[in-house]
Structure 1
């Protein structure tokens, strides 16, 4: 869990750095549409970084493998969803676009696994 918490903290920190980079460094370089695309990646990265921290806390209360799998899917979602949006906005290479829904699917599976863990265990 220490590794997972470290990944979550790093990811949250990185989302703040990337958000600031977008607001200050990319504002004059990207169209509004591409800047919004980049910012969407930042938002989803932060949301899911916080979700990872929640999963660490929940695991300490209710140690279930489903929570670890949930975290794995959320990490994959951050890499695929947010990563593809960053690359799409920065490079404008269109083939990064089809990767984004795979990341979204990983997010959905991660949340579904959290739901399953909640329904399965604990108090």
Structure 2
């Protein structure tokens, strides 16, 4: 995955997270219960955090070996889709079974961070 692709994926996710945060604060406040609004905000926070992590990976991609960076980024993208995506849908629809998907996204996040940690200690710079 090239640096510009990581920047693009990060930008898309950060754009969506900011828009979702604003929508939650202004558009959904009157519609959702406090519990569902809290779930929505959790989705926003994790998407924002991992969007910023993708920017950091883009920065590292020019200095570190590509394979672990790419794998870490893929895990984080999958995590955003499954973790934040399932929480957005849960908050918006109230379908509780969607919460079963959320931990899979959490595991993807953890895998992405673990791969990055491994790369920091095991892979020499380019």
TM-score w.r.t. structure 1 length?
0.97
2:24 match: 22
Deviation at 1:17? 0.3
RMSD (CA atoms): 0.9
Q: Secondary structure, in 3 states, of the residue corresponding to 1:61?
A: coil
TM-score computed with the length of structure 2 as normaliser:
0.94
Structure 2: give runs of 5+ residues left out of the alignment: none
The number of equivalent residue pairs is 123
Decide which moves more: 3-12 or 100-109: 3-12
Determine the C-alpha separation between the residues in 2 that align with 1:84 and 1:122: 37
Give the conservation status (yes or no) of the 8 Å contact 1:70–1:114: yes
**Equivalent residue, structure 1, for 2:64:** 62
Task: Name the counterpart of 1:88.
Answer: 90
Structure 1, gaps ≥5 residues long: none
Q: Which 4+ stretches in 1 moved above 3 angstroms?
A: none
Q: Aligned equivalents of 2:27 and 2:116: distance in 1?
A: 36
Q: Among residues 105, 113, 116, which one is paired with 1:114 in the alignment?
A: 116
